Amino acid sequence: MNFRDYVRAVACGARGRGLGVVPASAEVIEARLRCGLGPRLYSMFSLWRHPRSEWSGYIDDHRNKPRMQAVNTDGNRRVVDDKVRFFLHCRANSLPTVAILGLIGGGNPAASQDLPSTDSLAKLDELLAGHPDGLFLKPTGGSHGEGAFGVLPVEKGVRWRGAVTTLDALYSHCQEVAAATGPLIVQPRVRPARRMLEITSAYGLATVRAVTWMDGSRPRLLAACLRIPVGDSDADNFLGGASGNLVAAIDPASGCLYRVLGSRRRDWPDIVEVDVHPDTGRRIPGFVLPGWDALLELVLRAQQQFPGLRTIGWDVAITDSGPLLIEGNGSYDVDILQMAHDRGLRAGIERALEGGGTVASDGLLPGVGEAGRLPGRDPRPADGS
């Protein structure tokens, strides 16, 4: 972390707590030295709002991922981290997911398994003609939405990444990317359920990030949030506020959104609560996700269908036809869940990695069992934080 990061974090803490620069600086430094939470995480988690005794309950993704990778080993992780293998596994196990229409570029050993090539301009044109809602392209091994983009047919060509170009220019770009990073997956552009358009932009696709884990032989839900696109964003990733998108905590008992966050800035996680979506003008807190029970059933069933993975972070779309698995992540970020739910998930993640214990006993988010049901409860922590 550079000095400028500390200055930004101190400014956030000083404004949030009404502190002077010196005590705010002391807090930022203490969070780093005592809890391993650097200035960016201090700001993202709004640690100035929490007693110091709660700071150690937060976990840093950079420190946690090596442990997660040790539990979810390379061979097993490859099934979810490689998007082609993920699709083939879901198809073989009757898990609803987004179809792969083709691949641009070669070099993927799974590509020969009944998946067509799209390595021609004519084939790409044919796919666009057959999918008036557009296509979605992404690298086979990408993460955080990097390299992914939507393609829409328009009157004078194709629209992608905010610009209108010819189909030839798009195809040339795809070939260049595939040559540098590996094949690109071509999928139909998934449209959200009509009700979801009340609280999300009409262009991007909001997805639920749901983390599941195996409690012995039983799959459970640890926590979930909704990532909400804003404007013409292709992906729904939050990226610490840099994307301009929003994130909302989900009550696991009801599927109700109860805490919605955005960032004042794109260059730093200056986190604020948001009531209405800037595109739709509709209130987001209190919105109940359609088909929440079906989504819970799907991710819990899917966790069992990947037996080599103790815990998985799922990206799930809510459509009018039901939930769709977009991706699985064998090494997932926890930052966004901790930020959304305004509490640390260290104890819950450690139990998930150990594969046993009851997460709810620590006062964290209850682990939802196979039926996906919990008694009615206030989703906020007992102390009202």
* pLDDT over 70, % of the chain: 88
Residue with the larger pLDDT of the pair 281 and 74: 281
Of 137 and 363, the one with more pLDDT: 137
Candidates 216, 213, 189, 217; CA nearest to 203 is 189
Domain 64-76+194-362 has CATH 2.60.40.420: no
Rounded CA gap, 86 and 97, in Å?
9
pLDDT of residue 83: 87
- Which pLDDT score is estimated for 78? 87
Question: Averaged over 334-342, what is the pLDDT?
Answer: 96
- pLDDT value at 382 more than 60: no
For the chain, domain boundaries: 15-56, 64-76+194-362, 99-188
What is the pLDDT confidence band of residue 84, given thresholds at 50, 70 and 90? confident
Q: Is 320 helix (H, G, I), strand (E, B) or coil?
A: coil
Q: Is residue 155 a contact partner of residue 210, using CB atoms and an 8 Å limit?
A: no
- Residue 8's pLDDT is what? 95
- How far is 94 from 75, CA to CA, in rounded Å? 22
- Residue 151 scores a pLDDT above 70: yes
Section 60-72 average pLDDT? 90
Which residues have CB under 8 Å from 38's CB, separation 6+? 1, 5, 31, 32, 60
Whether the pLDDT of residue 280 is over 90: the answer is yes
pTM: 0.88
**CA dist list (Å): 222 to 210, 299, 300:** 8, 11, 11
pLDDT tier for residue 356 given thresholds of 50, 70 and 90: low
Q: What is the 3-state secondary structure (H, E, C) of 247-281?
A: EEEECCCCCEEEEEEEECCCCCCCEEECCECCCCC
Mean pLDDT of the residues in the chain: 87
Q: Is the pLDDT of residue 25 over 80?
A: yes
Indicate the range of 18-32, 109-123, 255-269 predicted with least confidence.
Answer: 109-123
pLDDT, one tens digit per residue, over 283-322 is 999 999 999 999 999 999 999 999 889 999 999 999 999 9
